[in-house]
């Protein structure tokens, strides 16, 4: 309420102002002595609301698509550093294809975790775990989530078919089928891989080893051992992201018999697995420095050690078991992004220093 002269010039009339997306709405109210009868106006919806398509897009959790983009960047740049050339069309197709499949898998996981009751049982969701919550909050129907998931998976599959037609590679076909089926059946029946104590390893495979190796192959058309070390680092990083996000979900997962590693082994043992896996990624990076094509990638990854120290500090059994605490998840996600970027930049430096480029 603001004491202003209204549009008719009355001096003793108050007006209530409300700000909307389309400007200022004035509502006349009686004089101050009659303020109890002030007219109450409900919030008016803005003209430009989020469309249904945008809502569905956000339901796919796009901010986490770095998990699928990172291995393609690492593998493609390693391929460039190895052969001295870069195939942009195949890189773009691979990037868009894996991100579409990842989006579809995210929404499929929301749908099947809804059916199992997992997300409904979760009383401690965080920005990094517990699903998108779009079904639980009534923003989207389960049917809409499932149909959008199938559309995204179809788009990703179509892009994969284009890659296969361009490369005529059975190897890429095999990797694509494993990625597609693995992403969908991570929570879908009858496999429900994420419920059978193998989900973390499946994610390390689908978002580490396979896409790094596949992207490397698209650039080099060679199957060899070179990508294994950087692929192992990317796989460990995404393993750590999934693993640390299972701690807030512990009670909900146990309630629906979702046998994650944290549920199966308990918090203390899982904390040690987290630390050992983190240390292993840096040992692999040190080993990479033996090879000319991976020297800078290994060196740059070692520079992320301070982030890893912070991650280990916050990944304590006291913090991880405390409701509403997700600092370890934040720093682990940061390490995955920065570590993958460090590997990528290292391979770019190697490619630029190569006489063939």
pLDDT confidence of residue 50: 56
Look at residue 28 and tell me whether its pLDDT is greater than 90: no
Q: How far apart are CA 295 and CA 220, in angstroms?
A: 19
What confidence tens digit (pLDDT) does each residue in 300-338 have?
999 999 999 999 999 988 777 677 778 999 999 999 999
Look at residue 119 and tell me whether its pLDDT is greater than 70: yes
Alpha helices (runs of H) in the chain, residue ranges in sequence order: 52-59, 66-83, 88-116, 118-121, 142-167, 170-184, 199-204, 210-220, 228-244, 250-255, 261-265, 267-288, 295-302, 305-314, 317-320, 327-353
Phi/psi for 193 (5° steps) reads -60, -35
**Separation in Å, CA 172 to CA 37, 95, 164, 188, 218:** 72, 14, 7, 24, 8
Look at residue 12 and tell me whether its pLDDT is greater than 50: no
Q: Where are the domains of the chain?
A: 1-49, 67-353
pLDDT confidence of residue 211: 98
What confidence tens digit (pLDDT) does each residue in 256-269 have?
999 999 999 999 99
Phi/psi for 25 (5° steps) reads -105, 125
What confidence tens digit (pLDDT) does each residue in 45-64 have?
443 345 888 999 999 999 99
Percent of the chain whose predicted confidence (pLDDT) is above 70: 85
> Quick one: average pLDDT of 34-45?
39
Look at residue 234 and tell me whether its pLDDT is greater than 90: yes
**Separation in Å, CA 49 to CA 55, 62, 141:** 10, 19, 19
Percent of the chain whose predicted confidence (pLDDT) is above 90: 79
Q: Is residue 17 within a helix (H) or strand (E), and if so which, with residue range?
A: strand 15-20
Over its C-alpha atoms, the chain yields an Rg (Å, rounded) of 25
* Mean residue pLDDT across the chain: 87
Whether the CB-CB separation of 341 and 307 falls below 8 Å is answered with no
Identify the DSSP state of 206: I
> Quick one: average pLDDT of 203-212?
97
pLDDT confidence of residue 290: 94
Q: Is residue 27 within a helix (H) or strand (E), and if so which, with residue range?
A: strand 23-28
Look at residue 13 and tell me whether its pLDDT is greater than 90: no
Look at residue 356 and tell me whether its pLDDT is greater than 60: no
Q: How far apart are CA 85 and CA 88, in angstroms?
A: 10
Identify the DSSP state of 259: B
pLDDT confidence of residue 345: 98
pLDDT confidence of residue 5: 44
Lowest mean per-residue pLDDT among 3-7, 57-61, 91-95, 300-304: 3-7
Residue 113: name the closest of 256, 239, 241, 247 by CA.
Answer: 256
Look at residue 282 and tell me whether its pLDDT is greater than 70: yes
């Amino acid at each position: 309420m603001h004491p202003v002269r209204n549009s008719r010039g009355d001096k003793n009339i108050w007006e209530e102002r409300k700000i909307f997306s389309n400007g200022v709405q004035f509502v006349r109210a009686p004089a101050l002595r009659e303020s109890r009868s002030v007219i109450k106006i409900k919030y008016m919806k803005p003209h430009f609301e989020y469309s249904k398509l945008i809502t569905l897009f956000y339901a796919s959790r796009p901010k986490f698509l770095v998990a699928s983009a990172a291995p393609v960047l690492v593998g493609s740049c390693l391929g460039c550093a190895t052969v001295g050339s870069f195939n942009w069309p195949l890189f773009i197709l691979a990037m868009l294809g894996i991100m579409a499949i990842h989006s579809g898998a995210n929404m499929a996981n929301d749908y099947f975790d809804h059916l199992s009751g997992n997300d409904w049982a979760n009383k401690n969701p965080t920005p990094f775990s517990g699903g998108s919550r779009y079904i639980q909050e009534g923003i989207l129907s389960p049917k809409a989530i499932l149909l959008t998931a199938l559309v995204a998976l179809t788009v990703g599959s179509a892009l994969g078919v284009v890659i296969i037609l361009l490369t005529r590679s059975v190897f890429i076909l095999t990797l694509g089928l494993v990625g597609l089926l693995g992403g969908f059946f991570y929570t879908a029946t009858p496999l429900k891989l994420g419920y059978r104590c193998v989900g973390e390893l499946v994610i390390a495979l689908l978002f580490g080893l396979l896409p790094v190796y596949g992207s490397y192959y698209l650039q080099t058309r060679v199957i060899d051992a070179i990508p294994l070390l950087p692929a192992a680092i990317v796989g460990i990083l995404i393993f750590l992201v999934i693993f640390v996000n299972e701690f807030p979900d512990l009670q909900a997962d146990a309630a629906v018999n979702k046998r994650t590693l944290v549920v199966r082994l308990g918090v203390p043992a899982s904390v040690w697995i987290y630390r050992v896996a983190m240390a292993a990624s840096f040992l692999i990076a040190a080993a990479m420095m033996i090879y000319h094509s991976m020297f800078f990638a290994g060196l740059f990854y070692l520079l992320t050690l301070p982030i890893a120290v912070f991650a280990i500090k916050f990944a304590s059994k006291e913090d991880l078991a405390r409701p509403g605490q997700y600092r370890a998840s934040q720093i682990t996600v940061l390490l995955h992004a920065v570590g993958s970027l460090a590997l990528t930049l290292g391979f770019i430096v190697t490619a630029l220093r190569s006489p063939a480029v």
